[in-house]
């Protein structure tokens, strides 16, 4: 077996395959160990993206151990965890190393509490220090945003769909997973303001006011698609070979591929744009045009929502005027 590390984001089977068929070191411990391993990820991480990242991180470590001849989980020592992190640090960023350590530590802690292991070998292993001053997500310039929209051919349903989807991420700062999960019923048009109801992490619903450009893009897509009356269907769907909408929603990886493709056509280097770029770009643009940080937190859904806030409309900070601060202009 190769002694190379498994890539942090392998292109192969998703994390569910890891859970259905646990790594050999876990499988050798028997049925109880396999069950505890699966239960740890399924019960602790209801968010699919988080579960996928942590399951793959633990699988990377267990495969690394097996490649070095470790016969059983009982033989895992703190020094092995440290050596693995050292090798990981030579290839990946500090953030990735810390994520792997966190996943390993918590998984082994669970196996210890379930009686599978006598002790947790990762409990006292120190990870690298991470000091985050600025975000690393690429932020687009105004001209790049405008070039991107202008490069989309909106004479097709695909173009209208992609423009609307990018517009939603840019002007509402929504996470791509929340946008992919939108149904037609989540779009609410009112006389004074139009809103989207986004499903966020932890099952929380986040209500956002739509910018007039996002509303314009979304309306054009709905009219062309003819799905405005299909309230229970997904809003952003895939396209079949005949270039017709299917019933299947776009996945975040579908969106990423689309964003990379659209960015390339607009002259934006692939490494300069990703799904999260639009969230970062929208927030940055808002703040550059005089936005308030407390309002930005509420618009982005970063602050915890209090039950009272569901009823007390006098405390709402987000208004149509605040949303309209986001605007993209070319330098004269």
Architecture of domain 15-113: Orthogonal Bundle (1.10)
**Spatial distance between the Cα atoms of 191 and 209, rounded to a whole number of angstroms:** 12
**What's the rounded mean pLDDT across residues 219-237?**
94
Region 316-324: mean pLDDT is 69
Q: Choose the most confident range, by mean pLDDT, from 124-128, 215-219, 312-316.
A: 215-219
CA distance 113 to 118: 9
Fold of 142-323: hpI Integrase; Chain A (1.10.443)
Residue tagged 């939603």 (tokens) = 168
At residue 261, does pLDDT exceed 90?
A: yes
Look at the alpha carbons of 67, 71, 73, 75 in this order and tell me if their dihedral is positive or negative. negative
Sorted by where each begins, the domain ranges of the chain are 15-113, 142-323
Whole-number pLDDT of residue 95:
80
pLDDT tier at 249, thresholds 50, 70, 90 = very high
Task: Record the pTM.
Answer: 0.60
Give the mean model confidence (pLDDT) for residues 235-264.
93
pLDDT in tens, 125-173: 887 764 444 556 778 888 999 999 999 999 999 999 999 999 999 999 8
Dist CA 131 CA 74 (whole Å): 34
- From CA 264, how far away is CA 259, in angstroms rounded? 8
- Kind plus residue range of the DSSP H or E element containing 40: helix 31-44
Degrees, nearest 5: CA angle 297-286-331:
165
Closest-CA residue to 238 (of 157, 153, 148, 177): 157
Distance CA 237, CA 247 (A): 6
Q: Which residues, other chains included, contact 127 with Cβ-Cβ below 8 Å and sequence gap of 6+?
A: 85, 97, 98, 101, 102
DSSP state of 139: -
Mean pLDDT rounded to a whole number for the chain? 82
């Amino acid at each position: 077996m190769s002694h190379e590390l498994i890539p942090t984001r392998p292109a192969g089977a998703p994390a569910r395959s890891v859970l259905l068929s646990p790594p050999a070191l876990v499988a050798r411990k028997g049925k109880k160990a396999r069950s505890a391993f699966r239960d740890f990820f399924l019960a602790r991480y209801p968010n699919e993206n988080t579960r996928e990242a942590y399951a793959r991180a633990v699988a990377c470590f267990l495969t690394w151990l097996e490649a070095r001849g470790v016969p059983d989980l009982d033989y895992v020592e703190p020094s092995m965890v440290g050596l693995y992190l050292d090798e990981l640090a030579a290839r990946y960023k500090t953030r990735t190393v810390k994520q792997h350590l966190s996943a390993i530590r918590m998984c082994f802690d669970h196996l210890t509490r379930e009686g599978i292991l006598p002790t947790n070998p990762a409990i006292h292993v120190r990870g690298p220090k991470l000091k985050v001053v600025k975000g690393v997500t690429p932020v687009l310039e105004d001209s790049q945003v405008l070039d991107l929209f202008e490069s989309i051919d909106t004479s097709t349903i695909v173009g209208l769909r992609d423009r609307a989807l990018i517009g939603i991420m840019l002007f509402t700062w929504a996470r791509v997973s929340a946008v992919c999960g939108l149904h037609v019923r989540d779009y609410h048009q009112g006389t004074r303001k139009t809103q989207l109801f986004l499903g966020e992490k932890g099952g929380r619903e986040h209500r956002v006011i739509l910018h007039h450009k996002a509303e314009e893009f979304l309306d054009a897509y709905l009219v062309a698609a003819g799905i405005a009356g299909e309230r229970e269907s997904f809003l952003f769907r895939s396209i079949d070979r005949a270039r017709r909408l299917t019933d299947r929603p776009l996945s975040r990886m579908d969106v990423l591929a689309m964003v990379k493709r659209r960015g390339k056509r607009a002259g934006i280097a692939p490494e300069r744009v990703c799904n999260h770029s639009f969230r970062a770009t929208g927030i940055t643009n808002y703040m550059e045009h005089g936005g308030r940080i407390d309002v930005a937190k509420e618009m982005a859904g970063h602050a915890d929502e209090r039950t009272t806030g569901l009823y007390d409309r006098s405390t709402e900070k987000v208004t149509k005027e605040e949303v309209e601060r986001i605007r993209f202009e070319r330098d004269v």
